[in-house]
Chains A and B, each alone.
Chain A
Amino acid sequence: MSKNNIERISGRAPDELRNVSIKAGVIKNADGSALIEFGKNKIMAAVFGPKEVHPKHMMVSDRAIIKCRYHMMPFSTDTRKRPNISRREIEISKVIREALQPAIIMEDYPRTAIEIYIEILQSDGGSRCAAINAASTALADAGINMRDLVAACAAGKVNGQVVLDVDDTEDKTGEADMPIALLPNTGLITLFQLDGNLSKEEFDKALELGKTGCDKLYKLQRDALSEKYFNDKNGNKEE
């Protein structure tokens, strides 16, 4: 990706991610949790369950149900976000749930609910992807049986150039944003959205670039989990 590279506002290379750090097991009361810092994003995800289903009529006899809430704190944005749940949050909760669900072996937990709570404490561009990485790490931390982790990353187009991981400032002037979530071992894309303007070549290139981003995130998630379970520097013992 060396020819005709245009300098990005952030000074990153076209295929360079923002700084990402993931930490598993950050909330004691939760069955599983993770904190992700993805550029300026600060996002906590917590998983509760498998637990009893409320309301009861939502129970499914042969599998678990997944509940997911993506929620932004009023102080997480440039201008205060009204605390009411927005249509955007409802849509994102839905697409995140649908992105994570294929990874969870729901048949292992009949008649139960698995609850995923995602709290955006500080937002930057690409919060839904960051949230998926945190939630998937939290699910694994909760010991939920999974087929795979779910890694997510966006690609996009800024100043005519296809780039990885569009941040907030780039998104404002950017021409396209394409968030992707991937089950890296099965090659299944479970979140796919696009808005903007891409030619066929740019579309294919963004897909390819998004995949490389997901692969990097997958490694970071694994690192966060092994940090907690195999090489815990803080001395917290897993029960």
Chain B
Amino acid sequence: MPAVKKRRIVDSITKESIISNLANSTRLDERGLLDYRNLEIETKILKDKTNGSARVKLGESEVWAGIKVETANPFPDTPAEGVMTCNAERLPISSQYIEPGPPDEDTIELSRVSDRGIRESGMIDVKELCIKEGERVYSVYVDVAVINDDGNLFDAVAYAATTALLMSDMNKFTIEDDEIKMLDEKQPLPIKSVPVSTTFAKIGDKIIMDPNADEEEMATARVTLVTDENGKYVSAQKGKPGGFTFDELREISVISKEKGDEIRIKIREAVKNGA
């Protein structure tokens, strides 16, 4: 039940400059309020052991995602559906504020929010992950490692997980005499949509996108919105002990869709270049 964690220290000169810049609607790294940092997406970075992988650099934030597709018994309440789980880890190498040990509440939130974005968008058609109803299904494990934390991990992790899933394959199978046989031949994952996450932070009364670590620490409230390519909102999470007004949320929902479409193009490009 932690209430105070080891918090990032932002020196007062940085704080003051962030605030005075925001008053003129600019940011310390010369971005506009709603600009993302440079987004680099690379694929097939871990191709020897994974079914799919991706590295995302969002400014100085860097995350790696790897997919393992295995087979498992289905859950009793969904005998004809495969399983997908997404997990994110903030490694101790990623920041001086993170220590080894069981995940803290921030890491659990990061993990659960990225899982929810993929799950609720129906990105993977879990019905197509069924091998034999009630007996065997594919189980897709998405694991994301945070290598360097310079803020907005919610988006970086989501982009890495999505890209790695788009790049991922799985073994084909045959059923002979009621016996399941996994083959060496591969097929792509059954992908239905491409969810894109966008994150906003509120400092004073200014709303910015893609906060870096200093901005994130100073923000009173943060909200992540995930949209799919049909412009549907599939997941959201507000964080930090502050709030947004109804008008702000309505405005954010409009911008989220526009930015999401731009970023989806970048993800698709990276997948095309990697194919």
Shortest distance from the beta carbon of B200 to any chain A beta carbon, whole Å: 11
CB-based contact B3/A97 at 8 Å: yes
- Checking B120, B223, B231 against A199 with a beta-carbon cut-off of 8 angstroms, the contacting residue is B231
Is B108 within 8 A of A198, CB to CB?
A: no
Q: Is the CB of B238 within 8 A of A192?
A: yes
Whether the pair A91, B253 counts as a contact (CB closer than 8 A) is: no
Check if B250 is an interface residue, CB within 8 A of chain A. yes
Decide if A193 touches B236 in the complex (CB within 8 Å): yes
- In the bound complex, residues from chain B placing their C-beta under 8 Å from that of A195 are 116, 119-120, 234-236
Given contacts A87-B111, A91-B109, A207-B249, contact A102 B242 (CB under 8 A): yes
- Are the C-beta atoms of A93 and B1 separated by less than 8 Å? yes
- Among the stretches A14-22, A61-69, A219-227, the one at the interface with B is A61-69
B residues 239-263 near A (Cβ < 8 Å) are: 239-246, 249-250, 253-254, 257
Q: Min CB distance, B219 to chain A, in Å?
A: 12
A82 at the interface (CB under 8 A from B): no
CB distance from B48 to the nearest CB of A (A): 31
| Majority DSSP secondary structure for residues of B touching A | mixed
Q: Identify B233's interface contact among A113, A187, A194, CB under 8 A.
A: A194
In the complex formed, the residue of A with least CB distance to B236 is A194
State the A residues within 8 Å of B (CB). Answer: 58, 60, 65-69, 87-88, 90-91, 93-95, 97-98, 101-102, 113, 178, 183, 186-200, 203-204, 207-208, 211
Task: Show 28 A/B contacts (Cβ-Cβ < 8 Å), sorted by A.
Answer: A58-B2, A60-B4, A87-B111, A91-B108, A91-B109, A93-B1, A95-B109, A97-B3, A97-B241, A188-B242, A189-B244, A190-B221, A190-B242, A193-B238, A194-B235, A194-B237, A195-B119, A195-B235, A196-B235, A197-B120, A197-B122, A197-B233, A197-B234, A198-B233, A199-B232, A203-B253, A207-B249, A211-B246
